[in-house]
Amino acid sequence: MISQSVHPDDGGREGKWVALIIVVILATATLLLPYHQTASSEKQLASHQISIKDLPTVELAMIGELRLAHEEIRNIHQDNLEFEGVDIWPEMAALDELWLAPFIIDKSWERKGKHAWRKVAPALYQGVPALTTGSVAVILNSQAARPDVWLALDMPTPEPLVANKLNAAELISAGWKQVVFAADVEAAHTDNDSH
């Protein structure tokens, strides 16, 4: 009779291999994790810009109305081009007739500072407040598909602008702050990530 000793299979050998594989996976993940991180989601704004997220509520209310007004102003301009064949941007009287906020005189206008609105150039509208409470002076540029809003945040109430002082460099040197919308920050991020 042949006698053979059989060692019991307690799974120790397989357990050691499984433990080794787990350690290798964890070590690899630990080493590669920093390379898999996305860049910071915060875009650095220029010194003349301010994120819409950083504005007080009264400014947000004004900007909300300006964004809606921007769409209406562009629609009126487009209608003028298509139906009448003229490149005319709406005057203040036309915006008032349409009851288009923030250009109309109502309770909201009083709460926001009683802005005196005027068209300073084609597609450019400036509102200068009569009160120190409420929203600050504001410029709406409706030339582009997206509204371009500038606020006089850290400056005394500015004088009404003249047409030759409306370029970005002049506004920046005068102390105006350009509002950057959340969608603009995300779009800039997407553009940066794709490069």
Asked if residue 150 is part of any domain, the answer here is: yes
* Confidence bin at 154 (pLDDT 50/70/90): confident
Question: Quick one: pLDDT at residue 20?
Answer: 93
The yes-or-no verdict on residue 118 having pLDDT over 70 is yes
**Pairwise CA distance, residues 132 & 114, whole Å:** 10
Asked if residue 65 is part of any domain, the answer here is: yes
The yes-or-no verdict on residue 185 having pLDDT over 70 is no
Asked if residue 16 is part of any domain, the answer here is: no
Cis peptide before 102 (omega within 30 of 0): yes
Mean pLDDT of the chain: 83
The tally of domains found in the chain comes to 1
The yes-or-no verdict on residue 169 having pLDDT over 70 is yes
Which residues does 113 contact at the CB level (< 8 Å), separation at least 6?
A: 129, 130, 131, 132, 133, 134, 135, 136
Asked if residue 7 is part of any domain, the answer here is: no
**Pairwise CA distance, residues 92 & 97, whole Å:** 9
Question: Quick one: pLDDT at residue 2?
Answer: 80
* Confidence bin at 164 (pLDDT 50/70/90): low
The yes-or-no verdict on residue 165 having pLDDT over 70 is no
- With vertex at residue 33, the alpha carbon angle to CA 30 and CA 35, rounded to the nearest 5 degrees, is 135
φ/ψ of residue 169, rounded to 5: -60, -45
Question: Quick one: pLDDT at residue 12?
Answer: 73
Asked if residue 125 is part of any domain, the answer here is: yes
**Pairwise CA distance, residues 49 & 61, whole Å:** 18
Domain that holds residue 82: 49-194
The yes-or-no verdict on residue 166 having pLDDT over 90 is no
Asked if residue 17 is part of any domain, the answer here is: no
Task: State the average pLDDT over residues 57-76.
Answer: 92
Question: Quick one: pLDDT at residue 34?
Answer: 81
**Pairwise CA distance, residues 38 & 91, whole Å:** 47
The yes-or-no verdict on residue 172 having pLDDT over 90 is no
Task: State the average pLDDT over residues 132-161.
Answer: 85
